[in-house]
Structure 1
Amino acid sequence: MSLNRINNIKQLAEDELDVLILGGGINGAVAAASLAAKGAKVGLIDKGDFAGATSSNSSNLAWGGIKYLESHEYLLVNKLCKSRNNLMRHYPSSVTEVRFLTTIQKGFRFPVWFVFMGTLAYWLFGRLFTMAPKYLTRNAIKKLEPSIKTEGAQAGFEYSDAFLKDNDSRFVFNFITAAAKKSAAVANYVESVNAVRENGLWVIQAKDTTNNKIFTIKAKTLINACGPLVDQVNKGSEQKTSHHHLFSKGVHLTVDRISKEHRVLAFFASDGRLFFVLPMGNKTCIGTTDNQVESHQTSVTDEDRQFILDNANALLELDKPLTKADIIAERCGVRPLAIEAEEGVADWVALSRKHAIDVNKADKHISIFGGKLTDCINVGEEIAEIVKSLSIPLPKSESIWYGEPADSVKAKFMSAIEEFNIDKLTPKGAIEPLSGRFWRRYGEDAFILLEAIKQNPEKANLALEHTEFTWAEIDWVADHEMIVNLDDLLRRRSKATLVIRKEYLDNAKGLEAVSERIFGENAQQKVAEFRSTANFN
């Protein structure tokens, strides 16, 4: 395994790759993990941090797309439900079943019984893998969830989907780690400046944005997995595709915990679209908006905030109305929606999050459009088949490249935990024991963290106030998780900045010490850069 930027950049510059992937979001990460496990010589670069755009701004759900039943996309729902089940089966520590409680207001466009029948159909599409839906009277809703206003409600129901226990970007990063363990050369903060096809190879001029040094990467095949930037990058490399992207902006706000229960509250907002109140540890995430925008570069507006706050206040029974002062953090991203060129101007609201892959066989160039986290394993498998069809050998084509370590490995870890009783050292205020978090976040590498704590129990001490990071974890991420800026650690390797007020982190005890361990002589500069960033990002 190599997650050392300097070494990996050197490898990218020296080796002739079978495949170079541009973009380290969910599509690029699963492509790298799949191809590396199947024996290809793979490189991956991202001009920012891994999962730095769309893949760090989702609702943290792995859902089968129940809303696509309304647009009669039954094949897509069937496929997404199967994919969701696959994630739950192979990532039981990270992707878990969660109940959705949906309230139907009076005057809704469909009768309650009809919508409930949709949840039963959804359960059947999901192959009965989750708990069965349950019809709820207005009184039953209030009993289950006192925080819901039921005065204007007809009735409701519960159904199941899946939820990421960590943040979306952490889930993506674990695919990056899996690729690196199979010898993929991965590097964040490396930008493709120019890519041309010469003598049967792609020649890419790349720039390390941390020092502006230019180097050359050569690869037989180029995969454009740049998310919202796919069209822009293709234009630069003179690639014509049958698909392109439209953008929908989604905004989420984090506030103090609203519901005591671990369930998702689902409503139809004032404009008729889905609106969620999502559990996020000891906080609550509310949203999302769904507005078409022209560019991937967008931000949260006062109108976005007010839309979310107004809907939350209208739908929830709160001690006092939510205001802007209650917002702990906010995030904003665009959903790249794949559309075929011949469709012209589409009804973007009706567009689904299905992915599309365009291939230029002559140039050995692949473009990935759209997609969502739920469907990531399918993307990885499809990319491997396409690369193989381009005469790139995959000597281990039957290798399974996804999933948590085997049950026997987990049993060995839990046995070691019981022997040492590490959970007794869990820092005060943590929302779960060390053993559960270590296994879910670090997999087999959790053995190394456990051994470090055995050797020095002080490594289980809290490293950074307000977070749950232990010193054992900080030592690990400093050496193995390619942290270039504090935001990489606090926004993407963890969800700290999504659940902790920025001013608390700016002044947190241990911030300088953690930075010194990660950045050495550059620690003060990195702390200053972090503190200078906006309250919300």
Structure 2
Amino acid sequence: MLEDKPASLYSPPAREQALGALANATLDTLVVGAGINGAVAAAALAGCGAKVGVVDRGDFAGGVSSHSSNLAWGGIKYLESGEWRLVRKLCRSRNRLMDAYPSTVREIRFFTSIGKGFRMWSVFVWLGALLYWFMGSCRMAAPRYLTTGKIRQEAPVVAAEGVVGGLEYSDCYLYDNDSRFVFNFVRRAVDAGGLAANYLAVEGLEWLPDQSCWRATLRDRVTDRLMSLNAKSIVNATGPNTELLNESIGVATEHRHILSKGIHLIVDRVTDAAKVLTFFASDGRLFFVIPMGPKTCIGTTDTPVDDPSVGVTAADRDFVLANANALLNLPKPLTSEDVIAERVGVRPLAVAGDVAGRDWVQLSREHQVEVDSERAFLSVFGGKLTDCLNVGDELVSMIADLGVDIPNPNARWFGESGSGCRAKFMARAAAMELDKLTPDSASEPLSVRFWRRYDRAAFDLLDDIAADLTEAEHVLTGAEYTRAELRLIARREWIVDLSDFMRRRSKVSQVVRHEALLKDPGLEELASLLVGVSAAQQVAAFRG
């Protein structure tokens, strides 16, 4: 779902600087859309030396990329439909992410229960998991078969009545939220010399054949001012809105999107087990109970829709709650009163031709890129976070094939800074005894959290805290963000509206009840640190 709220009156200095550089610029590539596909496109192109800009009419990662299950998994469900090539590809992509982002993309065990009457014997499901492990190059802990007794013993929260067996296998999850992971690719692009702006809408695109470039007209949704720029190529990475942009400029493609709505409900933690509990819901689809720090994320649904602007309906909520109550042993049934937050978005599924008669649930998330070579226009369809590095690599290669100069096509454009940089950070943090300042309510040491969230920019946090120890204090109750972090975010992360921080750069609004945030004594200070002179206005709007 693409947020289309009224424009804020605040534009931070970093954003204003980017807007000034974008106005009248001549780019190698303009990337339209800053979800996962657009973010990796910008990071890859900038990292390989191209002059690139990435814009989004909403916030970075404000649509599909902020509503996932926070999982980076190899697509085990596609084994059932025989898509072995896709599964192998996704497993390799998952492993690559895990290697590149060891602080963020982590192995987690999936604990799966199989009920009586399921469409295949539980031992066959385990054999499928064993094949999945081999297809993933045996990089993680091996799967194991679970008897009903083992399930009762190791996961008493699972309602074992009617369960005939199960299995445990490994995949990956994002330690922080999906939208922060996506934003860090945008930040990576900027650090490599790219330009980025949120709340900057593409009003028009015109191909100039005599100059062999595109003329883009853009509107700043904060100030309503217009600007224009030229670009040798365009990447349409607008997710579920891809066809709308293509139709507006007469680009025809073989592929199109069909949309699947998925929702998750976030509740207080239902089990201390640090595992993803996996079931097959009443309609036969995968159903997850996912650890989320002190909370639990439950879902998802898979409902065909025509419009990307979706919301959680009472039927959606009832479906998730009913399945959770049926599949889990809980002290009392979950009700809508237990829901802290909801996540809802659409999955754009790339299809070509007639899909009538195909099993909706088995349609894959594999991405497709189509190229209009005459006008240097690329359209990205489908895709999932797990496969994002491949998308970036492919787009660099395709744009080079169009004749756009890519100075360093083999450059490494992704990943955390090297182990030497991390060791230097940790040594300095230890020397100043940073972790002794970790608030008692924190779930991990400050040094670990700072490095994972901000990579080498975390050195700035050490400077700020060394100058003033109160910079290491948390500002909001129940949200692990220090004053130093909020100052860094204000400088580097284009916070236009409080929701940009609350929902996307962080998961505060997903783990803290809105009523509690409204009463939190630190809300005004947080707003002041993030949005400066517009703090009072934005707090008033947030309180509604």
Match of 1:190 in 2: 200
Distance change >3 Å, CA 411–CA 59, structure 1 → 2 = same
Q: Deviations over 1:465-517 (max 9, x none)?
A: 22111000111111111000111011000011111101111221111122122
Q: Give the counterpart letter for 2:407 in structure 1.
A: P
**In the alignment, which of 99, 118, 131 is matched to residue 121 of structure 1?**
131
Counterpart secondary structure, 1:14: coil
Determine the C-alpha separation between the residues in 1 that align with 2:355 and 2:69.
Answer: 28
2:311 paired residue number: 299
Aligned to 1:215: 227
Q: 1:224 aligns with which of 220, 236, 258?
A: 236
User: For 1:329, which of 324, 330, 341 is the aligned residue?
Assistant: 341
Q: CA offsets, 1:118-169, max 9 Å, x none?
A: 0000001100001000111111111111100111100111000001000000
Alpha-carbon distance change, 212 to 345 in structure 1, aligned in 2, over 3 angstroms:
farther
Q: Within the alignment, does 1:25 sit opposite 2:25 as a pair?
A: no
Please name the residue that 2:246 is paired with: 234
Name the CA distance, whole Å, in 2 between partners of 1:341 and 1:518: 47
Residue identity matched to 1:187: A
Is residue 3–residue 186 contact of structure 1 (8 Å, CA) maintained in 2? no
* 2:269 maps to which of 249, 257, 262: 257
The Cα shift of 1:3 comes to 8.1
Is 2:467 aligned against 1:433? no
Count of matched residue pairs: 531
Partners of 2:428 and 2:273 lie apart in 1 by 32
**Aligned equivalents of 2:469, 2:16: Cα separation in 1:** 32
2:160 to 126, 134, 150: 150
Q: Partner of 2:435 in structure 1?
A: 423
Indicate how the Cα distance of structure 1 residues 515 and 244 shifts in structure 2: closer, same or farther if over 3 A, else same: same
Q: Does structure 1 residue 383 correspond to structure 2 residue 398?
A: no
Task: State the identity as a percent.
Answer: 49
CA displacement, residues 398-439 of structure 1 (integer Å, 9 cap, x when unaligned):
100111000000111111111111111112211111111100
Residue 25 of structure 2 corresponds to 15
Equivalent residue, structure 1, for 2:181: 171
Residues 498, 531 of structure 2: 8 Å contact kept: no
Show structure 2 runs of 5+ residues with no match: 1-11
Shift of 1:529: 2.0
CA distance in 1, matches of 2:159, 2:506: 33
Whole-Å separation in 1 of the counterparts to 2:355 and 2:115 = 35
2:329 to 305, 311, 317: 317
What is the match of residue 148 of structure 2? 138
Supply the AA of the counterpart residue of 2:224.
N
* Counterpart position of 1:83: 93
Are the equivalent residues in 2 in contact too, given 1:466–1:508 (CA < 8 A)?
no
Where 2:189 maps in the other structure, the secondary structure is helix
Query: Aligned pair 1:518/2:534, yes or no?
Result: no
Distance 1:244 1:96, change over 3 A: same
Query: 2:261 aligns to what SS in structure 1?
Result: strand
* Counterparts of 1:159 and 1:378, CA distance in 2: 25
1:481 aligns with 493
Deviation at 1:170, TM superposition (A): 0.5
Q: Please, what TM-score do these two structures have when normalized by structure 1?
A: 0.97
Offset at residue 217 of structure 1 (A)? 1.8
Distance in 2 of aligned mates of 1:269 and 1:250: 14
C-alpha separation in 2, matches of 1:373 and 1:463:
31
The one of 364, 370, 374 equivalent to 2:376 is 364
In 2, distance between residues paired with 1:520 and 1:124? 53
Which secondary structure state, in structure 2, belongs to the residue aligned with residue 392 of structure 1?
coil
Task: Report whether the alignment pairs 1:276 with 2:288.
Answer: yes
CA distance in 2, matches of 1:297, 1:346: 25
Which residue of structure 2 lines up, in the alignment, with residue 44 of structure 1?
A: 54
In structure 2, the residue matched to 1:351 is 363
Q: Secondary structure at the match of 2:23?
A: helix
SS at match of 2:289: strand
Asked if 2 retains the 8 angstrom alpha-carbon contact of 1:388 and 1:394, the reply is yes
Distance 1:3 1:93 in 2: 30
Judge conservation of contact 1:357–1:366 (CA < 8 Å) in 2.
Answer: yes
User: Structure 2 CA distance, aligned partners of 1:341 and 1:10?
Assistant: 43
Q: Distance in 2 between matches of 1:474 and 1:521?
A: 15
In the TM superposition, what is the alpha-carbon distance from 1:218 to its structure 2 partner?
Answer: 1.0
Q: List alignment gaps of at least 5 residues for structure 1.
A: 533-537
Closer, same or farther: CA 107–437 of 1 in aligned 2, 3 Å: same
Give the match for residue 535 of structure 1: none
The AA in structure 2 aligned to 1:433 is: P
Is residue 465 from structure 1 mapped to residue 477 from structure 2 by the alignment? yes
**Aligned with 2:309: secondary structure?**
coil
> Which letter does structure 2 place at the counterpart of 1:137?
T
* Alpha-carbon displacement from aligned partner over 1:29-87 (angstroms, at most 9, x marks no partner): 00000000111000010000000011000000000000000000000000000000000
Contact 2:71 2:174 in 1 (8 A): yes
How far apart are the structure 2 equivalents of 1:369 and 1:163? 23
Q: Tell me the residue number matched to 2:7.
A: none
Indicate if the aligned counterparts of 2:24 and 2:227 stay in contact, CA closer than 8 A: no
Q: Distance in 2 between matches of 1:457 and 1:182?
A: 32
Partner of 2:415: 403
Structure-2-length-normalised TM-score: 0.96
Is 2:404 the counterpart of 1:392?
yes
> Residues 261 and 344 of structure 2 are in contact (CA less than 8 Å); yes or no, is this contact kept in structure 1?
yes
For the residues of structure 1 that align with 2:125 and 2:359, how far apart are their CA atoms? 23
Deviation at 1:531, TM superposition (A): 2.1
2:504 to 492, 504, 509: 492
Residue type matched to 1:291 in 2?
Answer: T
DSSP 3-state at the match of 1:211? coil
Which residue does 2:75 correspond to in 1? 65
- What CA distance in whole angstroms lies between the structure 2 residues aligned with 1:376 and 1:82? 12
1:528 is paired with a residue whose SS is helix
Kept in 2, the 8 Å contact 1:246–1:348? The answer is no
